[in-house]
Amino acid sequence: MGEVVRSWRPGLPGVAEVLHARFVEHAYPLHTHDTWTLLLVEDGAVHYDLGRRGHDTGALLTLLPPHVPHDGRAATATGFRKKVLYLDEDALPPGFAGRAVDAPELPDPRLVTAVRDLHARLATGPGGPGGPGPDALDVESRAAVLLDTVGAHLRRAPARAVRDVPLARRLRALLDGHVVEGVRLTDASAQLGVSAAHLVRTFTREVGMPPHAYLTARRVDLARRLLLAGHRPAEAAVLAGFHDQPHLNRHFRRVLGTTPGAFAAG
């Protein structure tokens, strides 16, 4: 496999661009971005200079601040494969660029897993590259919590658990009222007057599942009722808010252990 580059705008709050690439010979010259660079090296190793200091990164998560010159090149003859989230400059706390220069590596394996999962959903989800797709609430929730956790790293303090039962109930009512059309996380956080990450964490703690999982479960329940009322699976999928029948099939089988067609046939 030679040099490969794929890049797209995900339509995701706080994330300006997604890039997946594999390089063997290409070397980045010194350059800057007006975004934060959240870099995951999936294979191989990279050597880079940041703020006149040399670094090597392999299977680590690296955060490069905006407006600070850096370069990059393969540290081995076999090259490297990377996945990058370019984050809006205001997506992370201002004034902490110096901390990222001093310690660009994020060693928390949970962060690595969260970043890898987000990339997988952005690249292979039903919406494909270019948008979060029909599981937008899931993707937005993961991104919001990820950005908040990275921000906590910059503050050198862990993200705190929250208790707010009334807030969780308000979001549940909002989701219950928009089962078919769904709710964008940015709209919900603005309407309820809290940050997206706070909203996701609060709901998950109090309800026992994240907002996207709750909404999906409500849609499956609605599809179940529609099937029992005589609707064909393809009709039930659209009427319940799913992208298409395969999208319904995946979640229906996961929740109920059977396909919509088999369920409808009784």
Count other Cβ atoms within 10 Å, centred on residue 72. 25
Whole-structure pTM value: 0.82
Q: What is the pLDDT of residue 60?
A: 79
Mean pLDDT of 122-143: 73
Residues contacting residue 172 through CB under 8 Å, at least 6 positions apart: 203, 207, 214
Q: What is the pLDDT of residue 58?
A: 75
Q: What is the pLDDT of residue 98?
A: 87
Mean pLDDT of 23-29: 88
Q: What is the pLDDT of residue 159?
A: 58
pLDDT tens-place string over residues 90-116:
999 878 888 888 889 998 899 999 999
**Quick check: 264 pLDDT over 90?**
no
Q: What is the pLDDT of residue 111?
A: 93
**Quick check: 130 pLDDT over 60?**
no
Q: What is the pLDDT of residue 134?
A: 59
**Among 55-59, 104-108, 205-209, which is the least confidently predicted range?**
55-59
Q: What is the pLDDT of residue 103?
A: 87
pLDDT tens-place string over residues 137-194:
999 999 999 999 999 888 875 555 657 889 999 999 999 999 999 999 999 999 999 9
**Quick check: 127 pLDDT over 60?**
no
Strand partners, 86: 17, 37
What is the rounded average pLDDT for all residues in the chain? Answer: 88
Mean pLDDT of 11-33: 90
